[in-house]
Amino acid sequence: MKGIATKIAKGLVPGSLLTCADNSGAKTLMIINKIGKAGHRKRMAACGIGDIAMASVKSGNPNYLKKKVRIVIIRQKTPMRRSSGMRVRFEDNAAILITDVNLPVGTEVKGAMAREVVERYIKLAGIAQRVV
């Protein structure tokens, strides 16, 4: 996994609700825990753009309902600072479902995807509508 040159504010904690931005069948997701978490002792591991997390499907297709899935966060409301000095923020918090080998479950993404996600996971660039 490639590192990110951007300073990403980790604005999503376990319990945060996200919209599912792909066409896999899930609609609303809730973060359970961050995968490969690194943080302070007794502190909840926060997630940001490009992080992989475990989530529970709260609404959507009955095949996914109440199931644990792996997700990659592609948009967040908390502003992040890029190395050029520009700050980027999105209208909503969104994620897409991935498999165990970091391949997307859906075939297309609704809305924009952050450039930092595409730099880290090349396979996700193929299903992106827009990269910001």
pTM (predicted TM-score): 0.89
1 pLDDT above the threshold of 70:
no
Q: Domain range for residue 85?
A: 17-131
Average pLDDT over residues 108-126: 92
Which residues are bridge partners to 95 per DSSP? 20, 73
Judged by DSSP in three states, 76 sits in coil
Task: Give the CATH number of the domain where residue 55 resides.
Answer: 2.40.150.20
pLDDT tens profile 35-70: 987 777 888 889 999 999 999 999 999 999 999 999
Residue with tokens 């504010």: 9
In 3-state terms, the chain is what percent helix, strand and coil (to 5)?
A: 10, 35, 55
- How many domains does the chain fold into? 1
Distance between CA atoms of residues 29 and 15, nearest Å: 9
**Residue 108 placed within a domain:** yes
What pLDDT does 84 receive?
Answer: 87
112 pLDDT above the threshold of 70:
yes
**Residue 40 placed within a domain:** yes
Pick from 80, 95, 93: nearest CA to 5: 80
**Residue 4 placed within a domain:** no
